[in-house]
Amino acid sequence: MMNVDTVSPAEWEEARLRLLVKEKELTRARDALAAERRRMPWVAVEKPYEFEGPFGSVNLLDLFEGRRQLIVYRAFFDADVEGFPDHACKGCSLVADQVAHVSHLNARDTTLAFASRGTQPDIARLKARMGWTMPWYTITGGFDADFGVREWHGTNAFIREGDQVFRTYFINDRGDETMGSTWSYLDITALGRQETWEDSPEGYPQSPPYEWWDWHDSYEGSCSSGGGCCSGS
């Protein structure tokens, strides 16, 4: 048996409440960090970037699928990756398995996309085998080198003002291991969760929590196939 203290239910509850104080402190610190992230400066993306999607050639602006924000995870499903073409990188595959239903992100005017250097037929076959439904594009230019993900995975966040795209945030290494939930993705975006309790700059879009939450197939304009079905449109 493991060397662990055994206590009464009352003592266990007392220990849990002591730890809860620290957990609440961590939650408040995480919220404060996200608020600071929403005040990060933006950098304009001036260089054109091309990708291949399921319906042909697209650019970075197309990856937004008409929404205000875009999150791009650079997954390693490339010719030199172990397991290719049957599998993507083990770590990137674990990330893909964790992704929540993208309709909830879409409801916050945010698109999540994956990008690799594997071909679209290989990506389509991989997605079907693994049950993944997020949009997944083929990098054909210098996007990976220019945005810090040529040799290692990473997640970039972008926003657009009309046709002008801006890079707003970037995480990699262990920062990516927390990704997957709707909240973790929204917390790295420039607009955040867009809920009224958040500390955001004046004029940012916000609505009450719970009121915008819905079943993933009930959002207006949602794709019944589970995300990515609008890719390349």
For residue range 99-151, list pLDDT tens digits in order.
Answer: 999 999 999 999 999 999 999 999 999 999 999 999 999 999 999 999 999 89
Q: Give yes or no for a contact between 143 and 59, defined as CB atoms under 8 angstroms apart.
A: no
Report which of 132, 130, 182, 176 is spatially closest to residue 153, judged by C-alpha positions: 176
Whole-number Å distance between alpha carbons of 122 and 140: 15
Say if residue 223's pLDDT is above 70: no
**pLDDT of res. 222:** 56
Tokens of 148: 């810090």
Residue 177: helix, strand or coil by DSSP? helix
**pLDDT of res. 134:** 96
In this prediction, residues 146-159 reach a mean pLDDT of 95
Asked whether the bond before 85 is cis by omega within 30 degrees of 0, the reply is yes
Whole-number Å distance between alpha carbons of 186 and 143: 22
Query: For 140-218, where are the E strands, in sequence order?
Result: 154-161, 164-172
Angle at 48 between CA 44 and CA 49, to 5 degrees: 110
pTM of the model: 0.91
Contacting residues for 49 by C-beta, under 8 A, at least 6 apart: 59, 60, 141, 142, 143, 146
**pLDDT of res. 175:** 86
Say if residue 228's pLDDT is above 50: no
Say if residue 57's pLDDT is above 70: yes
Whole-number Å distance between alpha carbons of 126 and 223: 20
Residue 86: helix, strand or coil by DSSP? coil
Q: Give yes or no for a contact between 81 and 91, defined as CB atoms under 8 angstroms apart.
A: no
Among the residue ranges 13-17, 36-40, 131-135, 227-231, the one predicted with the least confidence is 227-231
Tokens of 86: 């049957």
Determine which helix (DSSP H) or strand (DSSP E) holds 212, and give its type and residue range.
none
**pLDDT of res. 221:** 67
